[in-house]
Amino acid sequence: MTGMSEQMRIRFVLIRGGTSKALFLRRHELPADPVLRDRVILELFGSPDARQIDGLGGADLLTSKLAIIGATDTTDADLAYTFGQVSITESLISYDMNCGNISAAVGAYAVDEGLVEPVEDRAHVRIYNTNTGRVLLAEVPVVGGLAAVAGDFHMDGVPGTGAPILLDYQHTAGGATGALLPTGHERDTLTVPELSATVEVSFVDIGNLCVFFSAKAAGMTGLEDSRTLTGDQIVAVKAIQYAAARKLGIPTGGLVPIPVAVAVPASYTAYGSGSLVGSDQISLLARVVGGRPLAMHKAYPGTAGVCTAVAARIPGTVVAEVSAPSDGDTLTVGHPSGTMPIWARVRGTAGDLVVERAAYARTARRLAEGYAFVRRSTWQG
């Protein structure tokens, strides 16, 4: 690193992955001390500040994301990747979950940075995610030795089309809790004092740990988006998430379990595009109200997507109950910005479940690279 008067510079890459954007940093170029490292990262993003005006953050849950890339000791992976959700309102970076959108960007980054060798027009990237302690697989199309950008794959929530990156999470089951079904049951009953009610939920742990519940339990219809979600509904979701965390014996107030409200298919107008999503185009309605502070996800997180699809393949879960019957592996989630197809296959019974497929496609594009600056006083602590 080179000093420039009162500031120091650090190399970065900005990549859009799916419906999110992240700053990519190399682990060995950051301070080794975790507290000092996070202080530097918060300044890079301009947090805490609602506009992140003094940093590179995008002032939105989906654009205040971090990927730290480093070497891995395991022979099963090509690199180690740590995801961080950088708070906009607090001096806090959450490392308790992975991000499926940014996982696609990690695949593209690995190709562009020469961390893997493509074979003809494809690169297979084995990514060790430190957040979950699991390896996920990315298949990246390649043009001229770099991650392909142009293509005809469209994903709702992102303008235009791009080259599809296939992500497979079949080997990530139990990353947070050690089991695909953390409680050993397809569904559990939670006592939620704040709602003066009991709520039927399903805990599933693949990609990320999620808790699924009927939208009605939070006073929702399943058709809400970020404009129509009410404060009372957010309070209800938070109460369910906290009760779910207590049930699992994990700290409340974290990003996991990701709360997912589900409902039977219904028609609605997609957020942003204004296009009509017909009930016959989707397998179910699903809404993620997550982050810190809790807010409606404008689209649908990739890791929650694979978790949702796998849950739908397990008879007796809350998700299976509301999902329309389907042939083959494809399940289509109806989310605020449109639809998300996911491919999932599960065999066995509750005591012996094997996930044979848990995959989806995302596009990614390198947006910027160069040096960002932080105050020398911040770096030196």
- Decide if 245 contacts 259 (C-beta within 8 A): no
SS (H, E, C) 218-266: HCCCCCCCCCCCCHHHHHHHHHHHHHHHHHHCCCCCCCCCEEEEEECCC
CA distance 103 to 99: 6
Select from 122, 3, 7, 54 the least CA-distant residue to 378.
7
pLDDT at 248 over 60: yes
- The pLDDT-based confidence of 299 (bands split at 50, 70, 90) is very high
Percentage of residues of the chain with pLDDT beyond 70? 99
Q: What is the bridge-based pairing of β-strands 165-168 and 197-206?
A: unpaired
Tokens of 14: 């900005």
SS3 state at 371: strand
Percentage of residues of the chain with pLDDT beyond 90? 95
CA distance 256 to 194: 19
Q: What is the mean pLDDT of residues 33-39?
A: 97
Which DSSP letter does residue 153 get? B
249-273: b or e for each residue (b if 16 or more CB lie within 10 Å)? ebeeebbbbbbbbbbbbeebebbbe
Q: What is the mean pLDDT of residues 189-214?
A: 98
- Decide if 233 contacts 261 (C-beta within 8 A): no
CA distance 329 to 312: 11
- Decide if 261 contacts 215 (C-beta within 8 A): yes
pLDDT of residue 150: 98
CA distance 25 to 22: 10
Select from 341, 244, 262 the least CA-distant residue to 302.
341
Which DSSP letter does residue 8 get? E
- Decide if 7 contacts 373 (C-beta within 8 A): yes
pLDDT of residue 1: 47
pLDDT of residue 94: 97
pLDDT at 120 over 60: yes
CA distance 360 to 166: 6
